[in-house]
Amino acid sequence: MTFPSPIQASGAGRTYLGSIHDIPPGEGRAYAVDGESVAVFRLRDGSVRALSAVCPHRGGPLADGQIDRKQVVCPLHLNAWDLTTGCSLSGQPDLTTYPVRLDGDQIVLGE
Amino acid sequence: MTEKRRLVVIGNGMAGARTVEEILARGGDFDITMFGDEPYGNYNRIMLSNVLAGVEDESGIFLNDLSWYADNGITLHAGTRIERIDRASKTVYAADGSATAYDKLIIATGSRAFVPPIPGLHRPGRGYHQGVFAFRTLDDTRAMIRYAREHTRAVVIGGGLLGLEAARGLQNHLPHVTLVHGTGHLMNTQLNEVAGRTLQRTVEQRLGIEVLVGATTTEILGKHAVAGVKLADGRVVPCDVVVVAAGIRANAEVAAASGLTVERGIVVDDQMLAAPDVYAVGECAQHRGEVYGLVAPLWEQARVLADRLTGAAPDAAYRGSKVSTKLKVAGVDVASMGLTAPAEGDESVTFAEPARGIYKNVIVRDGRLVGATLVGDVAKAAYLIQAFERGLDLPAERASLLFDLGGESAEVSPAEMPDDTQVCNCNGVAKSAICGAVAGGCRTVGGVIDRTRAGKGCGTCKPLVASLVSWAAGGALDEDPAASYYVPGVPLPKPALMASIRRLSLRSVSAVFDALGGEEDARSKMGLASLLKMMWGDEYVDERDARFINDRVHANIQRDGTFSVVPRMTGGVTTPAQLKRIAEVAERHDVPMVKLTGGQRIDLLGVPKEKLPDIWAELDMPSGYAYAKSFRTVKTCVGSDFCRFGVGDSTALGIALEERYQGIEGPGKMKLAVTGCPRNCAEAYVKDLGVVAIDGGKWEIYVGGAAGAHVRKGDLLATVDSADEVIVLAGRFLQYYRENGNWLERTYAFVPRIGIDRVKAIVVDDADGIAAALDAAMDASVAAYRDPWKENGVTPGQFRTALPLTVLPQVPVRA
């Protein structure tokens, strides 16, 4: 099974994941960072969010989930999490969140 | 030390004793004195029928024996009749001359048999004529049994509940029983005429009791003992036993003589208060114009009175009872509640099968059950009683009020369901969790569904969840406006939503949120995308994030995050060349599982997202749309080409339907079938739209069928003469469903909601004059269809894997 070309890690706990234009508005994409799977979402207001890419319920691919400004909904069983806090909205374990921002059109994961 | 308050209870029957029990249960600290007319402890009067029938021993019917009174410090004067209440001095006087003072007085004198003034019933100065009995007390019952055993023919006067029970019971003691009833049909208080007739037939044919209705007794014959009864039409029924069961009258004479207000009973208010410090409960009480002769209202009254007297709930109020009964009358199951006949504008649904003694009727007003009668089959009684007493929402398909239809489980009585019963089988939610959410403050069905996730799987349990919530909230359910919204994030029902979308020319999902919703909502996007595409066709602005993952990548996501690929194979017909190609592709890509689907196609399962475009290209077949809320397949049989029985070319018609309507989106999946004869090999009766060839070159079109989690046979929409007409009507029906179905509402719910007659009127007869518009809209959708498997890479990374690094549990490869 092939995975997306993993990310070139850079120094100081900061990782450039590539262009924001790799993610269509309102969608998410999965990235492999230091052995972790991270789902990055591009909200329709232009901001980005990053969370663990694995649904803790049954391992669903959260990057394939639908989002709005607040939540991501897992495509397998429709559990939901807060995009900003990672808190479950449907009684599941919470998700790890990662600091993420845009540097120009580049997605930067880490502080 | 303050003296205990003195509580005096007149009446030691079920109402009096029950009230005292309730008071004791609340720790009520009274000095209690009870007066009973009968020289016994307290017994269950309802069971006297069983004693008469010989199925219950006398000892089995006592509720409280004499030791109970002693143990609880109650002074019981059994066999002592109270003759006068002096309210000024707060004292009651008994027939034996004794006086007892009270602080609080409860009158629970019950009722007595009503004995009509028929000449010959009494012997002057000596009570009843020899052989005449009332049926009310244990003594009556004992005397009746003793006498009946030595005689042969009994006449029971009165064909109500008690009369029927008496007749049935007497059959155990003598060979001939005739029931004489003054009005036109049996149990006329609880049953309508047809139900009463049904009951009568069963009683006559199965039990062998002779029944005379419309027969007024005018005289009891016999000089020294009863010899017969004479009827108004001159007939004489010979007999040597007469039992009077002509109804009951409240025992309210003492109350009336003591200055209390008495109409048909002692008039009480919502506190059960008849006068200062004087209360009345049970059959002797008249509350808001009603005098109840059944036990359930009595229990409620006793609770309220106990709450009041003990201060356990000083504001407790009795507001009347909705009376329902479910019982075996003379061996026949009968249940009845509310109205026995519909008023103007009520819905009345009736099923009658006289040969089996079955009659069922429900009366619905403004969507609520206001009356029900069941004779001979009371399987639905528990559910109906719930619906009646609590005003539950009723299933749209009214027949399910009368029968257990396949699949639907909404009619399970919430009260009877054990707490640990799993209600939502998809998400494993038990009844207790749903009731817990209600107890925790959720007061809407939608709120409980969000909290517990019950109903969020396949959705078939939603009606049951709704009825549980309604039951658990005990009627205190908040109106849930969201229940009518097409999608949760835009507060409009579908017609209003569509009107706004048209008026404001909203062509994308984000435009709808901006203009109508206020806020983007992930859970509303898919439904809006489907609706907008249906409405705008080519003009729809397709924002890919509005699509569910399946629609983004044109494949169905599986539990391990891989996808399934189902190429279109119209009508389930394939060729060796096509099979070879599929086999080669599956082999080349190590497809873990190749499976035949229920829709007569081939499914390649376990395909990673990134391989989808290659596999489509190599297959070079159109998408089968086995992933969308859309037109799926047309299942066919081999029809007339090969089958010995086929009367129509179902295969060709199926292929034509599928080629025309492939990929059309709708509020839910649309699964079709065409079968070449009524043997129904293609299962057309249980499809969203099913076509059945019948002899004479005709086709029947059924709509609203289902054979998934919900099983329903479709309703006949039309019988037509040609395949072309089938194609037109199918398209028109599907378009009507697309425009009017709620999001995720399958046709099996949609058709009963609209009503098949209404659907017929619109689709077949064009009653609303919209047929041409429906056809044109469907034509436009068909013209706008593009095979999604021909598109490749519309958005960046569209087919990039989203699977995590950790390898997830995968579907095992089968050798």
- Distance, CA of B514 to CA of B547 (rounded, Å): 18
**Strand pairing category for B5-10 and B104-107:** parallel
- Residues from chain B contacting residue A56 (CB–CB below 8 Å): none
- In angstroms, the separation between the Cα of residue A111 and the nearest Cα of chain B is 23
pLDDT digits (tens, 9 = 90+) for B697-746: 899 999 999 998 889 999 999 999 999 999 999 999 999 999 999 999 99
Residues B439-443: what's their mean pLDDT? 81
Q: What is the pLDDT of residue B380?
A: 85
Residues forming a β-bridge with B133: B243
Mean pLDDT of chain B: 89
The CA–CA distances, whole Å, from B486 to A81, B286, B446, B667, B671 equal 23, 49, 13, 10, 22
- Whether the predicted pLDDT of B203 surpasses 60: yes
The one-letter amino acid at B437: A
Least confident residue range of A53-67, B66-80, B771-785: B66-80
Least confident residue range of B6-15, B396-405, B478-487: B478-487
Tell me the pLDDT band of B465, cut-offs 50, 70 and 90: confident
Cross-chain residue pair A66–B522, CB shorter than 8 Å:
yes
- Distance, CA of B184 to CA of B162 (rounded, Å): 17
> pLDDT higher for B337 or B476?
B337
pLDDT digits (tens, 9 = 90+) for B491-509: 889 999 999 999 999 999 9
How many of the other CB atoms lie within 10 Å of CB of B550?
20
- Distance, CA of B569 to CA of B659 (rounded, Å): 10
pLDDT digits (tens, 9 = 90+) for B214-236: 999 999 999 889 999 999 999 99
3-state SS, residue A52:
strand
Determine the residue among B805, B810, B813 to mutate to test chain A binding: the one whose Cβ has the most chain A Cβ atoms within 10 Å: B805
Closest CA to B560 of A40, A54, A50: A54
- In angstroms, the separation between the Cα of residue B811 and the nearest Cα of chain A is 13
Q: Count of residues for chain A?
A: 111
Q: Which of A22, A32, A35 sits opposite B797 (nearest CB)?
A: A22
The CA–CA distances, whole Å, from A40 to A19, A33, B106, B112 equal 12, 11, 74, 81
CB under 8 Å to B619, separation ≥6 — which residues?
Answer: B565, B567, B581, B582, B585
Cross-chain residue pair B522–A67, CB shorter than 8 Å:
yes
A26 touches chain B (CB under 8 A): yes
Chain B residues with CB-CB distance to A under 8 A?
427, 453, 456-457, 489, 510, 519-523, 525-526, 543-546, 548-550, 552, 557, 559-561, 608, 610, 795-797, 800-809
- Residues from chain B contacting residue A31 (CB–CB below 8 Å): none
Q: Which of A3, A72, A75 sits opposite B801 (nearest CB)?
A: A3
Tell me, rounded to whole angstroms, the distance of Cα B241 from its chain centroid. 44
Element (H, E) at B733: helix B723-740
- Distance, CA of B549 to CA of B541 (rounded, Å): 18
- Whether the predicted pLDDT of B767 surpasses 50: yes
In terms of C-beta density within 10 A (0-12 exposed, 13-18 middle, 19 or more buried), how is residue B345 classed?
Answer: exposed
Tell me if B363 sits within 8 A of B370, measured CB to CB: yes
Tell me the pLDDT band of B486, cut-offs 50, 70 and 90: very high
Instruction: Give the CA diameter of chain B.
Output: 109
Q: What is the pLDDT of residue B2?
A: 58
Q: Closest-CA residue in chain A for B513?
A: A68
pLDDT digits (tens, 9 = 90+) for B598-625: 999 999 999 999 999 999 999 999 999 9
Tell me if B133 sits within 8 A of B242, measured CB to CB: yes
- Whether the predicted pLDDT of B793 surpasses 80: no
Q: What is the pLDDT of residue B466?
A: 84
Strand order in the sheet with B593-596: B556-557, B563-565, B602-607, B593-596
- In this prediction the ipTM stands at 0.92
3-state SS, residue B91:
strand
Residues forming a β-bridge with B153: B176
Cross-chain residue pair A66–B526, CB shorter than 8 Å:
yes
Tell me, rounded to whole angstroms, the distance of Cα B294 from its chain centroid. 23
- Residues from chain B contacting residue A74 (CB–CB below 8 Å): none
CB under 8 Å to B728, separation ≥6 — which residues?
Answer: B775
Q: What is the pLDDT of residue B190?
A: 87
3-state SS, residue A53:
coil
E strands, B417-489, are 422-424, 429-430
Q: Please give the model's pTM, rounded to 2 decimal places.
A: 0.58
Element (H, E) at B212: strand B210-212
A99 touches chain B (CB under 8 A): no
pLDDT digits (tens, 9 = 90+) for B375-392: 998 888 878 887 888 787
Tell me if B14 sits within 8 A of B132, measured CB to CB: no
- Residues from chain A contacting residue B543 (CB–CB below 8 Å): 25-26
Q: What is the pLDDT of residue B288?
A: 92
In terms of C-beta density within 10 A (0-12 exposed, 13-18 middle, 19 or more buried), how is residue B642 classed?
Answer: exposed
Interface A-B: count of C-beta contacts within 8 A: 114
Closest CA to B682 of B657, B710, B717, B718: B657
- Residues from chain A contacting residue B525 (CB–CB below 8 Å): 66, 68
